[in-house]
Amino acid sequence: MKIKSPFFLLLLIPGFLGCSLNTDEKIIKLGHGLDTNHPVHKSMFYFGELLEEKSGGKMMVEMYPNQQLGTERQLLELLQIGSLDMTKVSIGVLESFSPDMKVFGIPFLFRDKEHSFKILDGEIGKELLSGTEKYWLKGLGYYDAGSRSFYTKKNPVNAPDDLKGLKVRVMESETAINMVKQLGGAPTPIAWGELYTALQQGVVDGAENNLTSFYLSRHYEVCKYYSFDEHTVIPDALLMSTHFWNGLSEIEQEWVQEAADESIVYQRKLWAESEENAMQELEKAGVIFNTPDKAPFVDKVSGQLKGKENSESVNLLIERIQQVQ
């Protein structure tokens, strides 16, 4: 299991990414946008260790963190053309490639974390993962990414009106853009790795993300207000290029899937611990927390939940998700 440094950007030379030339072992190149302290990175590192163990050293993972190989959107494009083997991206970015994934970006869709896990681990979650294959993306599973809330530089967000006139960073996600618009803010898509500087320089007035990412990105150094409106629960997806997956033997595919499944269990434990630690450290750093009444937010974005702006397939998914007890 290896983590590569930025000097390996040269690996973007066409043809260099992909399997090792040694036919006795397969090197899986995995690029992602998070830093190495993030629980999701640690879980993918664990995936690599598990895979090496299960395969008896025949399959190994080389990791390229910190957007070394590009933004999440660019990494997905590299998977589609077979120039990269694996990645982890937010479902918010994946929805632009696999449209039914937009359902996870619908605000206030899940009742609680238990409800979201029932969907991710059940029939609906598996259907959505398998649906990515026609876009040359093999879905291996979902990592927990908590709930997303707003954080801002100057004032807390107690009600939708507090977002009026604010430039809010969002992912390259149609559902996230529509949500911020409906709440009165000005959605501004910016790559994750560029956000700290954008906040610092006033390009945006705030952003929305989970507590762990808010802490590990050090955005709290610029934004002192975190408002627990918990508008969306958007997981991460662990993905492999179908170009690579289809070249694996049946037993190799089993090793990959088993390692992914075990890393998901490990990741959820790490995630819960990371949220507790983030809360403690952010309080020490002087971050001001508030928990606004969710009802006005739900009312403003009800068009997305009721399906006025959704495709027929997404509306059917919303109905099925709401029926799961």
**How high is the pLDDT of residue 8?**
44
Tell me if residue 186 falls in helix, strand or coil. strand
Instruction: Report the C-alpha dihedral over residues 8, 9, 10, 11, rounded to 10 degrees.
Output: 80
- Contact predicate 51/60, CB 8 Å: yes
**How high is the pLDDT of residue 303?**
82
**How high is the pLDDT of residue 265?**
97
What is the full per-residue pLDDT of the chain (325 aa) written as tens digits?
A: 667 654 444 444 444 444 444 557 899 999 999 989 999 999 999 999 999 999 999 999 999 999 999 999 999 999 999 999 999 999 999 999 999 999 999 999 999 999 999 999 999 999 999 999 999 999 999 999 999 999 999 999 999 999 999 999 999 888 999 999 999 999 999 999 899 999 999 999 999 999 999 999 999 999 999 999 999 999 999 999 999 999 999 999 999 999 999 999 999 999 999 999 999 999 999 999 999 999 999 999 988 877 667 889 999 999 999 999 8
- Contact predicate 210/39, CB 8 Å: no
Domains 2-145+234-276 and 148-233+277-319 share a fold: yes
Cα–Cα nearest to 141, from 267, 242, 325, 55: 267
Token pair belonging to 283: 């309080």
Cα–Cα nearest to 44, from 65, 27, 24: 65
Place of tokens 């908590």: 146
- Cα gap 296→154, rounded to integer Å: 21
Please report which helix (H) or strand (E) contains residue 290, including its range: strand 288-290
**Distances from the Cα of 246 to the Cαs of 82, 137, 226, 250, 295, in angstroms?**
11, 11, 44, 9, 47
The full set of domain ranges for the chain reads 2-145+234-276, 148-233+277-319
CATH of the domain spanning 2-145+234-276: 3.40.190.170
pTM of the predicted protein model:
0.87
What does 189-240 look like in DSSP terms, one character per residue?
E--GGGHHHHHHTTS-SEEEE-HHHHHHTTGGGT--EEEEEEEE---EEEEE
**Distances from the Cα of 45 to the Cαs of 42, 85, 185, 274, 315, in angstroms?**
5, 15, 37, 16, 36
**How high is the pLDDT of residue 306?**
72
Token pair belonging to 251: 């037993």
Q: Which residues, in sequence order, are bridge partners of residue 87?
A: 31, 239
Which residues 6+ apart lie within 8 Å of 137 measured at CB?
Answer: 76, 79, 80, 94, 97, 98, 239, 240, 241, 242
- Contact predicate 187/181, CB 8 Å: yes
Distance of CA 217 to the CA centre of its chain: 14
**How high is the pLDDT of residue 240?**
98
Place of tokens 């434990």: 269
Distance of CA 240 to the CA centre of its chain: 15
Token pair belonging to 22: 């040694």
**Distances from the Cα of 256 to the Cαs of 50, 52, 62, 125, 133, in angstroms?**
9, 10, 14, 19, 16
- Domain 148-233+277-319 maps to which CATH number in 3.30.300.30, 3.90.45.10, 3.40.50.300, 3.40.190.170? 3.40.190.170
